Amino acid sequence: MSNQATSGAVTAASGVTRGAGARYAMAASRGTANFVLGLLILAVLWGIGGYMIATNPKTANFAGFGLLPTLQAFPELWDMGKLQKATYASGYRLGSGMLIAILVGVPLGIIMGRVQWFRKLSNSPFQLLRMISPLSWMPIAVLVFSSWDGSIVFLVAFASVWPVMYQTAAGLSKVDPAWFKVARNLGATQAQMLTQIILPAISFDIFTGIRLALGVAWVVLVPAELLGVTSGLGYAIKDARETLSYDHLTAMVLTIGIIGYALDTLCALLIKKFSWHRGDM
């Protein structure tokens, strides 16, 4: 009896000494398992749905929506170059729009966080503009920008600028004001204050804003591409529908999901890398 208790204690102790590394590895592998299992469940549900569509004579025309036809469509689309072309076109619009949103949103957010009168004055117009669905600007944007491409970049930028700006401002409002006093005391110029103190202090918030913006931008981009343009993922979906290639259609839809998920994960990693906050995530 006492022997057993002793050996139990020894095992427990060695379990403790194995320490944080092992526990971290275990949590990581459990994370991977959940990731795979979750996607498997989705795939199974999709497979069942596809099977039911294919076996029902009324819906058999739409068998292309099923899991297997969709997966088989990927190499086809790749070989035709459609996948790459659509992804590149959409990526270019997303990237340009986001870049504009960051270049406009971060400085405006910093001014909002630092200058009280600007914050107070800008509140009502910004809130009003923010609440307008970006897609409703499309007709105006097409008139203003001569190209459909330009209009879509504008829409993406317009949709993403708000989260970037508001997160930047919110980050700045949480900054310890004494950090500025200390830096001024140690001889920081205005430019150094910006690059050495303000930006590192709020990089976490800026990336959080970019992550939120990316979600909005991606959701705006695809429907915007359903209008006018002849390239991009949104157009590829429309094109697939018009040519009745439903397997291509779902493959493109799935691509949109995968790219969006990957970009969001990348942002989450950047946030983690640039965060100096303890106990986040």
Partner 1 sequence: MSIRGVEINIHGLGYRYSTRGNPTFTNLQLQSRRGEALAIIGRSGCGKSTLLHIIAGLNRPTEGVIEFDGKKVDGPSSRWVMMFQAPHLYPWMKVSQNVGVGLKFAGWPEKEKAERVAEALRLVELQDYAEVSVQDLSGGQQQRVALARSLVMEPELLLLDEPFSALDAFTRSSLQRDVRSIAKKLGFNLIIVTHDIDEAILMADRAVIMAGAPGKIVTEFEVPLPDPRQRQDPAVQAMRSRLMDAFHSAAGKPTGADAHGEEDVDTDSESVTQHA
Using only C-alpha atoms, the chain has a radius of gyration, in whole angstroms, of 25
Among 142, 188, 219, 259, indicate the residue that binds partner 1 (CB under 8 A).
188
Judged by beta carbon, residue 182 or residue 262, the one nearer partner 1 is: 182
Contacts 24+ apart (CB under 8 A), 127-134: 130/162, 134/158, 134/159, 134/216, 134/220, 134/224
Q: What count of other Cβ atoms lies within 10 Å of the Cβ of residue 84?
A: 11
Among 140, 182, 194, 266, indicate the residue that binds partner 1 (CB under 8 A).
182
Q: Which amino acid is at 77?
A: L
Report the site for partner 1 in 19-38 (rule: CB under 8 A). Answer: none
How far is Cα 215 from Cα 257, in angstroms, rounded to an integer? 11
Q: Which token pair is 74?
A: 């990927």
Q: Which token pair is 10?
A: 């020894």
What interhelical angle do 82-114 and 67-80 show, nearest 10? 90
* Per-residue binder mask for partner 1 (CB under 8 A), 192-211, x = binder: x---xx--xx-x--------
Q: Which amino acid is at 60?
A: A
Per DSSP, the three-state class of 69 is helix
* Per-residue binder mask for partner 1 (CB under 8 A), 221-260, x = binder: ----------------------------------------
Residue 67 CB, shortest distance to partner 1, in Å, is: 46
Among 187, 190, 242, 281, indicate the residue that binds partner 1 (CB under 8 A).
187
Residues in contact with partner 1, total (CB under 8 A)? Answer: 20
Among 179, 258, 261, 262, indicate the residue that binds partner 1 (CB under 8 A).
179
Residue 204 CB, shortest distance to partner 1, in Å, is: 9
176 lines the binding site for partner 1 (CB under 8 A)? yes
Q: What count of other Cβ atoms lies within 10 Å of the Cβ of residue 100?
A: 17
Region class of 189: left (phi > 0), else alpha (psi between -120 and 50), else beta: beta
181 lines the binding site for partner 1 (CB under 8 A)? yes
Judged by beta carbon, residue 104 or residue 188, the one nearer partner 1 is: 188
Report the site for partner 1 in 257-276 (rule: CB under 8 A). Answer: 276
CA nearest to 63, candidates 75, 47, 51: 51
User: In this chain, which stretch among 35-43, 47-55, 173-181, 207-215 interacts with partner 1, using CB under 8 A?
Assistant: 173-181
Query: Which residue is it, tokens 């439903």?
Result: 246
Query: Which residue is it, tokens 């076109």?
Result: 89
Residue 188 CB, shortest distance to partner 1, in Å, is: 5
User: In this chain, which stretch among 114-122, 182-190, 206-214, 242-250 interacts with partner 1, using CB under 8 A?
Assistant: 182-190
Binding stretches for partner 1 (CB under 8 A): 176, 178-179, 181-189, 192, 196-197, 200-201, 203, 276, 278
